[in-house]
């Protein structure tokens, strides 16, 4: 049971059914109340019309024994000011709801009054002889006529007669039609509402099943991808343009990004293993030779291989930290001072920088960017490298230009990939494992900036680092 109602389809069906049920109950109650009110109003109008017809006869002086009291077998009473029944329907056997329980005319000597001892007419109207009151008292009661007992709507109409004074005519209209209509409507609702709710539940179940079918397809495919670890697979995209289709597209985009990331990681591990193998193998060979023939030890070569190995390990560690999403420090860094510091001691490097160009970030990582750019520029320059630091709007711009051959337009994005060397001039013996520019761009991106390359005005390559100013 918990598994059934744990599904979206079951919860949607239950919610829709409950909402419709509440709406149907509210609407049904309103209909029944409105129907009952209308029928009661019609019965009251019919009772008042009958009472006024008899009151009209009394107003013109019609004797009691000539009144038309037995029309349509409806209960009628005529009561005087003292609450004495002076005329009534012939077959009336019992009555309640008018205030006068008598069913046979009473002699004047009895002087009976109604139950509360007050005059029967309390409308407060002042009537002239022969005038019928405009206000009618309406109430519910019951009566037995010729052995049949029914509920009635009674209306009492006052009339002022010339000979008998103030009289009140009570006439009733049966409520059997009202009861029958209300009961019929209630029966229809009790039978129809469950059927309608069943239809709503069934339709909702089928509609949600059809709507969620693509989601189940996505789930199955994702489960298969997880089991097979084949990130090249994609989930099916439905032909609709709804949220499910957008979910499938986003899922495929996520799978594509994950596949690219995993493939990049595999390449990175393979390239790193290849790069580490050479200095380790060279260092091992030199140590084995030194162990057998100490006089043949190439100490400078061993130190050089060790330094290369150390630098490569540091580069790999930094890239791993960047890939892990390490956020840079939020310190203020003076780019002009940092550029002068990194250029100090390098031959052929000049710095042209203005003061007051500051950014927020890690001084160590930004220094690493400048050092990598300077190393790359010196490796390709013929004679000179120029570093410029300036401010453009809300950005700080650092340019590193050399007078070498420049970078071909087709390779200006490729050189920022890891372990990429364009030509023999960037061989392993010439220094560099193809990680410097990749590290520089990743650090720039982590600081909210960009790193691009284009032709320098004087020839060669111009690398531009753009960072948001502090």
- Find residue 232's DSSP bridge partners: none
Q: Where in the chain is the domain with CATH 1.10.287.130?
A: 243-323
Measuring CA to CA, how many Å separate 420 from each of 95, 158, 268, 312? 110, 112, 11, 14
Q: Where in the chain is the domain with CATH 3.30.565.10?
A: 331-468
Q: Report the pLDDT value the prediction gives residue 314, as an integer from 0 to 100.
A: 80
452 φ/ψ angles, rounded to the nearest 5 degrees: -135, 170
Exposure on the CB side of residue 139, measured as CA atoms within 13 A: 13
Q: Report the pLDDT value the prediction gives residue 122, as an integer from 0 to 100.
A: 53
Q: Report the pLDDT value the prediction gives residue 428, as an integer from 0 to 100.
A: 45
Please report, in tens digits, the pLDDT of each residue of the chain (470 residues total): 445 555 788 888 899 999 999 999 999 999 999 998 999 999 999 999 999 999 999 888 889 888 888 777 789 999 998 889 999 988 888 999 888 999 899 876 544 444 444 444 455 678 888 888 888 889 999 999 888 899 999 999 999 988 888 999 999 999 988 888 999 999 999 999 999 999 999 999 998 888 888 888 888 888 888 888 888 888 888 888 788 888 889 989 998 988 888 887 787 777 777 777 777 887 788 788 778 877 777 777 777 778 777 877 887 787 777 777 777 777 899 998 999 999 888 888 899 887 778 899 888 889 989 999 998 888 888 888 999 999 988 899 999 999 888 888 888 888 888 777 665 444 444 456 678 888 889 889 888 999 999 988 878 899 999 999 88
CATH topology of domain 243-323: Helix Hairpins (1.10.287)
Q: 3-class secondary structure for the chain?
A: CCCCCCCHHHHHHHHHHHHHHHHHHHHHHHHHHHHHHHHHHHHHHHHHHHHHHHHHHHHCCCCHHHCCCCHHHCCEEEECCCCCEEEECCCEEEEECCCCCCCCCCCCCCCCCCCCCCCCCCCCCCCCCCCECCCCEEEEEEEEECCEEEEEEEEEEEEEECCCEEEEEEEEEECHHHHHHHHHHHHHHHHHHHHHHHHHHHHHHHHHHHHHHHHHHHHHHHHHHHHHCCCCCCCCCCCCCCHHHHHHHHHHHHHHHHHHHHHHHHHHHHHHHHHHHHHHHHHHHHHHHHHHCHHHCCHHHHHHHHHHHHHHHHHHHHHHHHHCCCCCCCEEEEHHHHHHHHHCCCCCEEEEECCCCEEEECHHHHHHHHHHHHHHHHHHCCCCEEEEEEEECCEEEEEEEECCCCCCHHHCCHHHCCCCCCCHHHCCCCCCCCCHHHHHHHHHHHCCCEEEEEECCCCCEEEEEEEEEC
Q: Is 457 left (phi over 0), alpha (psi -120 to 50) or beta?
A: alpha
Cβ neighbours of 426 (radius 10 Å):
18
| Beta carbons of 342 and 371 less than 8 angstroms apart | yes
What's domain 331-468's architecture? 2-Layer Sandwich (3.30)
């Amino acid at each position: 049971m918990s598994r059934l109602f744990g599904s979206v389809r079951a919860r949607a069906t239950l919610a829709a059914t409950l909402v419709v049920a509440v709406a149907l109950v509210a609407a049904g109650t309103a209909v029944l109340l409105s129907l009952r009110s209308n029928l009661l109003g019609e019965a009251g109008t019919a009772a008042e019309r009958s009472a006024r017809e008899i009151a009209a006869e009394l107003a013109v002086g019609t004797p009691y024994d000539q009144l038309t009291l037995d029309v349509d077998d409806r209960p009628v009473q005529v009561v005087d000011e003292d609450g004495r029944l002076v005329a009534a329907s012939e077959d009336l056997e019992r009555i309640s709801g008018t205030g006068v329980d008598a069913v046979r005319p009473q002699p004047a000597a009895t002087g009976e009054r109604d139950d509360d001892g007050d005059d029967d007419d309390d409308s407060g109207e002042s009537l002239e002889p022969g005038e019928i009151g405009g206000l009618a008292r309406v109430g519910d009661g019951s009566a037995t006529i010729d052995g049949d007992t029914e509920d009635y709507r009674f209306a009492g109409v006052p009339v002022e007669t010339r000979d008998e004074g103030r009289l009140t005519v009570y006439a009733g209209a049966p409520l059997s039609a009202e009861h029958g209509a209300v009961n019929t409507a209630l029966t229809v609702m009790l039978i129809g509402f469950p059927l309608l709710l069943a239809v709503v539940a069934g339709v909702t179940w089928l509609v949600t099943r059809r709507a969620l079918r693509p989601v189940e397809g996505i789930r199955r495919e994702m489960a298969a991808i997880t089991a097979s670890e084949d990130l090249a697979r994609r989930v099916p995209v439905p032909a609709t343009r709804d949220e499910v289709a957008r979910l499938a597209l986003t899922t495929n985009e996520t799978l594509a990004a994950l596949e690219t990331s995993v493939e990049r990681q595999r390449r990175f591990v393979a390239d790193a293993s290849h790069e580490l193998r050479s200095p380790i193998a060279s260092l091992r060979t030199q140590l084995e030779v030194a162990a057998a023939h100490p006089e043949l030890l190439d100490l400078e070569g061993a130190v050089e291989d060790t330094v290369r190995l150390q630098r490569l390990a540091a580069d790999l560690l930094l890239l791993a930290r960047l890939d892990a999403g390490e956020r840079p420090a939020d310190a203020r860094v003076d780019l002009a001072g940092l550029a002068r510091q990194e250029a100090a001691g390098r031959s052929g490097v000049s710095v042209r920088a203005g003061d007051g160009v500051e950014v927020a970030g890690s001084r160590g990582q930004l220094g690493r960017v400048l050092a990598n750019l300077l190393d790359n520029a010196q490796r390709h320059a013929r004679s000179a490298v120029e570093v410029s630091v300036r401010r453009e709007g809300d950005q700080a711009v650092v340019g590193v230009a050399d007078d070498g051959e420049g970078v071909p337009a087709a390779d200006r994005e490729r050189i920022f990939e890891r372990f990429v060397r364009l030509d023999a001039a960037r061989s392993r013996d010439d220094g560099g494992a193809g990680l410097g520019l990749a590290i520089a761009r990743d650090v720039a991106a982590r600081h909210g900036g960009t790193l691009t390359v284009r032709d320098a005005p004087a020839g060669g390559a111009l690398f531009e680092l753009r960072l948001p100013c502090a």
